[in-house]
Chains A and B, each alone.
Chain A
Amino acid sequence: MTRIYADLHLRPNLKNREQASALITKAFQLGYRLVAATLQPNHAKEEIEKLRSLCKEAKLDVTSRIDLQPKTPNELLTALRRFRREFEIVAVLCWSKNVARQAAKDRRVDIINFPSFDYRQRFFDKAEAELAASGIASLELDMEPLLKLEGEMRIRLLSTLRREAAIARGFRVPLVISSGVSDAFLVRKPREIAALATLFDLNIEHAQKAVSKIPTAIVKRNREKLGTKFVAPGIRVIRRGKDC
């Protein structure tokens, strides 16, 4: 069976159609069949439609994603109530430990992410992993900083990511490896992203799952949930009408 590769963290600039188009086309050329585009809550519907048409032209399946960046757990809960049903993927960028804890245990959160360029701001520890394992949140590791950073910063980031990947593996928290890029030159083939992930001591099979099976499963689960036929996990409407 052929793998479907997915990148759940593309950041196209929807105001610049040329740049967005180059990014989407590049993702398709390099072998991705499913991408998630990060949108802002204030994005006009026209812009979202523009993105969908771009992806349709490129024969790429696109899913909508929002990156919440709350300052407090309460702010996160408010944002989740407001946006959960509007976006297919809800990711939380955790700037504090309290927010990270709340995000990990809330079943409305699909992905938890941490500021990539500063290793000191990454709070993924065993307690966090335990909470995430009891919920459904996956840990996302972005590859963009590995491509952009150099020297000591990259060394420290690699060491932090290696520790986080080991904790996630130990607690069976699903890992999603994404690019997190907005520039077409920084898009890499899924196999190359998986090779970069081996730098965190993941074996190549696990790394490939993190760019194919796990992200596609998240999207499939959420599309089912957001569909009109969904009632509860495992229960869905088969038929409506008088003869039921």
Chain B
Amino acid sequence: MLKKVKRRYLALSIDSQESFSSDEFINVVWLAVQKLFGEYGASQTGLRLIDYDAGSRFAVIRVSHAAVEQVRAALAAVTEIRRKPAAIHVTTISGTLKALYRRINSLRKG
């Protein structure tokens, strides 16, 4: 029987003076994962863009539970997007989207 894949949702903030499209953003993330872990490693992350807001430079991605640290390391290795200095920080992490948005809201309020 197939084991159920556990997932984690990561809320990200993009630290840059520029705005980027969702394609530019996710391409950079994929590239960072590939550079550090190769195509085989990248295939195990289960990376997917769930939500992206270019205006507030906010994104939500979904990754496999086992690959959270790998993705976190790859995100930390991003230093530029479209040749402009940028950093991607993990704001919060959760097992469900509902809990993730609840945490984001409480962080924004508090």
Which of B35, B76, B87 contacts A195, CB < 8 Å? B76
- Docked-complex contact A204 and B69, CB < 8 angstroms: yes
A153 at the interface (CB under 8 A from B): no
Cα-based distance from A185 to B85 in the complex (angstroms): 7
Q: How large is the interface on A (under 10, 10 to 19, 20 to 34, 35 or more residues)?
A: 10 to 19
Interface size class of B (residues with CB under 8 A): 10 to 19
Contact A188 B87 (CB under 8 A): yes
A196 at interface, CB cutoff 8 A: yes
Kindly state whether residue B50 has any CB partner on chain A within 8 Å: no
CB closest residue in chain A, given B78: A147
Q: When the two chains form their complex, are residues B85 and A30 in contact, meaning their CB atoms are under 8 A apart?
A: no
- Residues facing B in A227-244 (CB within 8 A) are none
> Does A80 sit within 8 A of B, measured CB to CB?
no
Report A170-199 CB contacts with B as 1/0, cut-off 8 Å: 000000000000010111110111011011
Whole-angstrom distance between the alpha carbons of A148 and B79 in the complex? Answer: 8
Which residues 75-89 in B have Cβ within 8 Å of A in the complex? 75-77, 79, 85-87, 89
B12 to chain A, nearest CB (A): 11
B residues in contact with A150, CB < 8 Å: 35
Instruction: Write the chain B residue with the least CB distance to A148.
Output: B79
A186 touches B79 (CB 8 A): yes
Select from chain A the residue with minimum beta-carbon distance to B79. Answer: A147
Residues from chain A with a CB closer than 8 A to the CB of B35 are: 150
Interface residue? A54 (CB, 8 A): no
Measured CB to CB, the residues of B under 8 A from A are 15, 35-36, 69-70, 72-73, 75-77, 79, 85-87, 89-90
Which residues of A approach B to under 8 Å, CB–CB? 30, 146-148, 150, 183, 185-189, 191-193, 195-196, 198-199, 204
The 7 closest A-B pairs by CB, nearest first: A195-B72, A192-B76, A195-B73, A185-B85, A188-B76, A196-B73, A195-B69
| 9 chain-A/chain-B pairs, Cβ below 8 angstroms | A147-B77, A185-B15, A187-B87, A188-B87, A188-B89, A189-B76, A191-B72, A192-B89, A195-B76
